[in-house]
Structures are given as structure tokens and as C-alpha cells.
Amino acid sequence: MTNYTILSFDEISSTSDLLKEHFSSFSHFTIIKSKYQSQGRGQFDRIWESNKDENLLFSILLKDLEVSHLAYLKQWIIYGLQKVLKSYGVSSRFREPNDIYVNDQKICGILFETRTQHEMFTYVVIGIGLNVNQSDFEGLNATSIKNQIEKEVNQDQLFESLLNILLETYKLPS
């Protein structure tokens, strides 16, 4: 099984930024998780808004990978997220470039950020924002697991399930 480290915060500016800024101090497969991000963001520096304590907000640091593995990593993350959603009875679909939708509403955003050196990624930081218990998305075309199944979800259990899926399926192509 893959070794990993999880660091949890009540509030942080950005889980991905912390990993990128200090990647050399963290080991491969370090996860930074927070109950709230004051400067969460998505693709093209769009703001990722999330109510405190209502959603899963985390980033995964992977180090020293071949550039050719990026497509695999994207499929691995999508598979894990869709599998955990399905375990809660939520059918979803991936929509390019980096979102998971339920019907026509966004339930999850994924952000890949990399640093390359020659044909290797010095790091890959995968940021994930999964809407779990937030009910109201003022002016946004979004939904949550709670909205879909009409009941609160234990976020710790959800995160543990997702982490187990990701750990079980993480195997780089040879």
C-alpha cells in the first residue's frame, strides 16, 4: 500500500498553495485538508467558494513522476470521485476540462497544477473541492451530495472512503 501523510486545518488560504510553496518539505502523497479555504480557486484562477465545514476541500501532492503519467492521474482521480459518489447513490459524469457534474449541476472541481523539469514532474498537486453538505449555492449552477440524497453526510467517513479508493487504485503505468 502507498504511504501517505494527512495534515488537517480548520482554515487555510489554499491547500494547493501550501503544498506548492513547501513541496520540497513534504513527502510524496502528502494530503492537505481544510474545513475552509479563504482563497480557494479553480481552473483559470476562478474563485472556489465553499461554506465552512460543509464540503471536502483537499489537495494531494505527488512527486517525481513522468510527464506521460498525467492522463493516468486524471483518470485515477475521476474514477475515485465517481466511485465514492456512486456509493452514496449519486450518479455523476465528468465534464472537461476538470469538473464532475450531476445532471447539469457541478458537484466537484478538480485542479491539476504541476512543475516540470525535463521529462519529469517535480510535483503534481491535485486540488479537489467536493460539495458535500452545502445546500445553497447562491447564483451558482451547483449541487451537493446532501442536495442529491436529501440527508447530511458524515464528511470524515466520506473522506476515508475516498482515500481508501484512491490508495487501492493508485498504480502508475509502467
39 found inside a domain:
yes
145 found inside a domain:
yes
174 found inside a domain:
no
pLDDT, one tens digit for every residue, the chain (174 residues) = 689 999 999 999 899 999 999 999 999 999 999 998 876 555 545 555 678 889 999 999 999 999 999 999 999 999 999 999 999 999 999 999 899 999 999 999 999 999 999 889 999 999 999 999 999 988 889 999 999 999 999 999 999 999 999 999 999 887
124 found inside a domain:
yes
- Indicate the pTM of the whole model: 0.94
Cα distance between the two ends of the chain: 17
87: domain range? Answer: 5-169
> Collapsing DSSP states into helix, strand and coil, what is residue 81?
helix
Please report the DSSP string for 102-149 in residue order: ETTEEEEEEEEEEEEETTEEEEEEEEEEEE-S----TTS-B--HHHHH
160 found inside a domain:
yes
CATH number at residue 90: 3.30.930.10
Q: Are 125 and 61 in contact (CB under 8 A)?
A: yes
Count of domains in the chain?
A: 1
